[in-house]
Amino acid sequence: MTKHVRVAPGALIVGKPLPWTVFDAEGSILLRQGYVIQNEMQLERLFKQGLFQPREMEAEEADPETIEDTRARNPFVDYPALLKALETTLTTITKREPLARKRLNGLARLIDRICQEAPDPCLALVHLYSVQPTANEQTLFYAIICHFVAVQLGLDEKRRLVLIGAALTANLALLPFLDQLNNSPKGLSARQREVIRRHPLLSIKALQEAGIDNPRLLGIIEQHHERHDGSGYPAGLTDKDILFEARILALAEAYTAMITRRGYRERFNVGQAMESIRDAYREQPRPVIYKGLLNILTPYPPGSLVRLFNNEIAVITHRSGAYGSHMAQAVIAANGRLYGQAEKRDCSLLDFNIRAVEDVTILPSMDFSQLWGFE
């Protein structure tokens, strides 16, 4: 019998699409994945009545480093299972279980594969669920962004997988506090600042105690908050002493932070976030990583919401290629009416040229799998 789990407070946010399908106590569907919670009253009702069941990956009990799963990946369907797998992996590390290293390696390989098979939908996950992500969602976003920047910059598979593993575990010591820190409307206390400054070393200690001792992975984690001018932590390293992969992870975290809402500030839209990256790019002694991120995102990354020349609101589904333009699905008509079914738009055509980036919080409910053409 399928086991359903009660929706936890804090897991759902007004204006954010549901990361899973929600059921009632009898197992009937209340709301499908992609439904956007409209108000606090609806949110409260979901917490009281809603249950969910993350989709299980095949061969869950198999050795996670050697799972042979040949299905075509649908990142939207896989999203809840990836979050569950991340939670399980981090738990095995903190509990120092024998499978910790293999679970981490297996999850890194799975994320790498999904990103290769469905690149635009994977980048869309980052932007569609960026309104106010949980700590685990943010962690998954770091790993996804690291994958794409690493590919863009020509890192081989071995270095790429180590970087993804570091992205998944760099904030291990901070995760119990992260949701509280992100949602707090106040500035950080002295104790919170101390925890933040120590978290790279504390995360390394937890990994080592779980038998994870890859020197490159631990080095990335230790250095991912160092800054080229020596103002970072924990060691105050300067430019030439900071690992290349640590810089990639730092930028992945910075971009994710910009496009997510925090208790003490509103989120940047993707245009504002990329302008901030361009400003930082000009000041960096080694700007190639910043250029790499801008290249993989393009001006309108998948999952971003845009207004077209004909005044429709559309979701970007595919980035422009060498000889093409962005593709989008129009979801709101020029008169403000919701389309019953999204309308495909080629943004190279005059009527469908992109005029502006819109706030993703006005995103209507939709079936993301259908929007990206998955069966």
| Residue-range domain boundaries for the chain | 5-52, 75-297, 305-371
Question: Residue 357 in 3-state DSSP?
Answer: strand
Tell me the mean pLDDT in the region 85-102: 96
Tell me the mean pLDDT in the region 211-240: 96
Phi, psi of 81 (to 5 degrees): -70, -35
CB burial readout 37-51, b (16+ within 10 A) else e: beeeeebeebeeebb
Q: Which residues are bridge partners to 354 per DSSP? A: 308
Higher pLDDT, 95 or 196: 95
Q: Which CATH architecture has domain 75-297?
A: Orthogonal Bundle (1.10)
pLDDT value for 62 = 37
Range with top average pLDDT, 4-18, 60-74, 181-195: 4-18
Residue range 275-312, pLDDT digits in tens: 999 998 888 888 999 999 999 999 999 999 999 999 99
pLDDT value for 38 = 82
Tell me the mean pLDDT in the region 102-129: 96
β strands within the chain, DSSP E? 5-6, 22-23, 29-31, 51-52, 305-308, 313-318, 327-332, 338-346, 354-358
Higher pLDDT, 282 or 205: 205
pLDDT at 216 over 60: yes
